[in-house]
């Protein structure tokens, strides 16, 4: 108890300090702490809107913290200690929903906080359905999909998701993520369940058994990954014949590292990544973050980001502005998960379903894995 009080007291002093600072220098903080994933993705953010913003505001500085993978837990700990040091946090949509549920992220009014499209379409329409939570400011659409070794699949490369489950036609190891999400859906889909019924089936214990049984047919040939970089490495080393990961990671294996790898877009699962603003920021820091986020998520900035990474911009109005890769000079549109050719058969991560069933199905999935 005492411990918390001390922390609270010290953070109150710190808070008072920043407030006094803000009063003396206008009402916006001069420093922002941005939290992201590190790697190529963070660098695309840095190039597309952080550096331009700092260029426009020479007295402001930004600090990156590569903690997005543990953002939910860390934010909760900061919140309990009463000292939130982050100003803007990049998280996947499922985490944004959870942070919103836990009261750790600030609810925002999209039309008020975010810039309208150049033609005047309000932000709430420009982002549309992608505003999956009241706290979430989407940036990109990415997908979890498969890549395969072109030199290990013979003359008939895989074209359907169910080829992943076909050990006879495509012998060898596969890499799947060490969590039930996505894998369960794919398993049901390849076990004859209609796409529209997948979640109804998965909600029942029998459906979960069914999915695990289907995954069981390839269990001995699966390497389970937990970091997004695992599958690209395994593919590059020829350790696996195919594996799931984020499409941007596969893009860099294929186009930047020129490995003999190709995409299997069938039944790719769309997911979103975006910002949340932590709840309870002091006024000066909040003002700065609001100013930044309005700039960083406008139509041009989101389109700019796609020059550096093959993730689709979350705004409708940004889509036509997607151009060429900044270094490779290749057209980015065909590499976007949202490109019509790639998006013939897609899934959208079912946030509500997984918010409810994650704990339950994960327990079963992990027990199944440990057997």
Partner 1 sequence: MSDVNTATTALDAERAEKEYSGPMLAADGTPLKRSLNRALRRQKMRALLLIAPLLIFVLVTFIAPIADMLFRSVENEIVQNTLPRTTKALDQWSGEDGTTPDAPVYKALYQDIYVAQERKLHTRLGSRLNYELTGASSLFRKSGRGVDDIGEVYQDQFEDLNAFWKKGENWNEIFGSDAWLAQIKDWKKASGTPQPVFEMRDGIAGIFPQTASYYLIFADFVQTVDEDNLYKEDPWPLIYSAFYDDMAGDTAAAIASYSGPGATEIAEAAAAAPGFETVDYKAAFVKIDKDWGASPIWGTIRAYSPKFTSGYFLNAVDMQKSADGPQLRPENERIYGTLFLRTLFMSVCITLSCILLGYPVGWILANLPARSANLLMILVLLPFWTSLLVRTSAWKVMLQQQGVVNDTLVWLGVVADDSRLALINNQTGTIIAMTHILLPFMILPLYSVMKTVPPSYLRAAKSLGATNWTAFWRVYFPQSVPGIGAGSILVFILSIGYYITPEIVGGTTGTFISNRIAYHISSSLNWGLAAALGAILLAVVLGLYYAYDKIVGIDNVKLGG
Task: Using CB under 8 A, list all residues that contact partner 1.
Answer: 2-4, 6, 69-70, 72-73, 76, 98, 100-103, 173, 178, 209, 223-224, 226, 233-234, 237-239, 352, 355-360, 362-364, 366-370
For residue 146, the 8-state DSSP code is E
Nearer CB in complex with partner 1: 2/258: 2
Whichever of 209 and 256 has its CB closer to partner 1, that residue is 209
Q: How far is the CB of 185 from partner 1 (least distance, A)?
A: 17
- Nearest-approach distance from CB 113 to partner 1, in angstroms: 18
Q: Report, in Å, the least distance between residue 246 CB and partner 1.
A: 17
Determine what percent of the chain falls in helix, strand and coil, rounding each to the nearest 5. Answer: 50, 20, 35
**Cβ 248 to partner 1, closest distance in Å?**
21
Residue whose CB is less far from partner 1, 160 or 364: 364
The four Cα atoms 28, 30, 36, 42 give a dihedral, to 10 degrees, of: 120
Q: H-type helices in 171-270, by residue range?
A: 183-189, 198-202, 205-216, 230-236, 247-251
For strands 88-92 and 31-35, give the pairing.
parallel
Closest to partner 1 by CB, 122 or 238: 238
The closest of 290, 324, 286 to 53, measured between CA atoms, is 290
| Residue 168: other Cβ atoms inside 10 A | 5
CB 268 within 8 A of CB 346: yes
47 vs 364, which CB is nearer to partner 1?
A: 364
Q: Residue 156 or 371: which CB sits closer to partner 1?
A: 371
For the bound state, the minimum distance from the C-beta of residue 59 to partner 1, rounded and expressed in Å, comes to: 27
Tell me the two tokens of residue 158.
Answer: 């895989």
Question: Minimum CB separation from partner 1 for residue 204, in Å?
Answer: 11
The token duo for 162 is: 């169910």
Q: How far apart are CA 292 and CA 30, in angstroms?
A: 12
């Amino acid at each position: 108890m005492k411990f918390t009080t001390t922390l609270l007291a010290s953070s109150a002093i710190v808070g008072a300090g920043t407030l006094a600072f803000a009063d003396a220098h206008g009402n916006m903080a001069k420093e922002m702490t941005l939290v992201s994933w590190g790697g190529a993705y963070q660098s695309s953010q840095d190039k597309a809107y952080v550096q331009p913003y700092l260029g426009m505001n020479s007295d402001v500085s930004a600090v990156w913290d590569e903690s997005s993978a543990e953002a939910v837990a860390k934010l909760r700990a900061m919140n309990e200690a009463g000292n939130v040091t982050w100003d803007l946090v990049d998280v996947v949509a499922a985490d944004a929903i959870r942070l919103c549920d836990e009261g750790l992220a600030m609810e925002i009014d999209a039309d008020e906080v975010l810039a309208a499209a150049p033609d005047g379409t309000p932000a709430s329409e420009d982002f549309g359905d992608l505003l999956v939570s009241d706290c979430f400011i989407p940036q990109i659409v990415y997908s979890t999909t498969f890549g395969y070794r072109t030199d290990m699949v013979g003359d008939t490369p895989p074209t359907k998701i169910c080829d992943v489950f076909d050990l006879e036609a495509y012998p060898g190891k596969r890499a799947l993520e060490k969590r039930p999400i996505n894998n369960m859906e794919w398993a049901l889909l390849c076990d004859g369940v209609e796409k529209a019924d997948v979640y109804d089936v998965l909600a029942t214990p029998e459906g979960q058994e069914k999915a695990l049984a289907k995954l069981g047919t390839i269990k001995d040939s699966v390497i389970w990954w937990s970091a997004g970089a695992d599958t690209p490495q395994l593919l590059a080393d020829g350790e696996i014949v195919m594996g799931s990961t984020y499409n941007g990671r596969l893009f860099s294996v294929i186009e930047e590292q020129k490995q003999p790898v190709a995409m299997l877009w069938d039944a790719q699962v769309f997911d979103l990544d975006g910002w949340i603003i932590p709840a309870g920021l002091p006024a000066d820091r909040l003002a700065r973050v609001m100013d930044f986020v309005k700039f960083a998520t406008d139509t041009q900035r989101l389109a700019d980001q796609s020059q550096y990474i093959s993730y689709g911009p979350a705004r409708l109005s940004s889509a036509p502005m997607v151009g060429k890769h900044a270094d490779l000079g290749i057209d980015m549109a065909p590499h976007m998960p949202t490109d019509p050719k790639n998006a013939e058969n897609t899934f959208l991560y079912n946030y509500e379903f997984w918010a409810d069933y994650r704990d339950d199905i994960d327990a079963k999935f992990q027990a199944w894995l440990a057997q």
